[in-house]
Each structure stands twice: as C-alpha cells, then as structure tokens.
Amino acid sequence: QVQLVESGGGLVQAGGSLRLTCAASGSTASFNDMGWYRQAPGKQRELVAEIDRGGYTNYADSMKGRFTISGDIGKNTVYLQMNSMEPEDTAVYYCNAHAVFGAAYWGKGTLVTVSS
C-alpha cells in the first residue's frame, strides 16, 4: 500500500514563496509520474504541475513561470517551489502519483494561504 504525505504548506504574504514536499512510503512499486493539484473551496481540483520518470514536466498555464516542480520519482519524492505567490493561489495542494501499473494515489493535502 502507498501513502503520500504533503508538507510545507502554510501562510505566506503575496509575492512570497513556499516550497512543498511530497514523500511516498509504504510501497515498493515504482511511479510513472508524480504531480501536484490544488483545490479551493467551491472550485474544482486543478492540475498545478506534474513530472514523469524521464524528468519531463507539465504546468498549468497560470502557474508556468512562477512554480517549479522537481524531485526524484525513483525515491518517491517530489517538490513544488512556488514563487511570486498571489492570493488566487490559496488552496489545498494535493500530491498525486501513478504507479507503473496505472493505480492512482492521492495525499491528504496541505493548506496554502496567501494573504494580501
């Protein structure tokens, strides 16, 4: 069984930065990709960024240039560096991973609040 645990969320002032960490444990299975999603109250969950085994990344347009995803999927760890944060970035951020056989896993989320 797989567990994904996010950390690094908190309160930050607009224009500031946060770095989120996702670490997986409890499984020997390899992941094809890992990524970050976010969801604000009353809104749909949306993709923030993802990275695959080859290191290729994909970003939502609104986050491109401000956020950077990195990590070592082989070590079941992924990071999200968030710069120039805006109040609109306020949301619960969730870690996501797909196993090589296709199963999807989700963390419980970490809250990020950006003040004006």
Nearest to 80 by CA among 99, 98, 60, 100: 60
The string of DSSP letters for 54-90 reads T--EEE-TTTBTTEEEEEEGGGTEEEEEE-S--GGG-
pLDDT tens digits, 56-100: 999 999 888 999 999 988 888 999 999 999 999 999 999 999 988
Least confident of 9-13, 63-67, 91-95, 111-115: 63-67
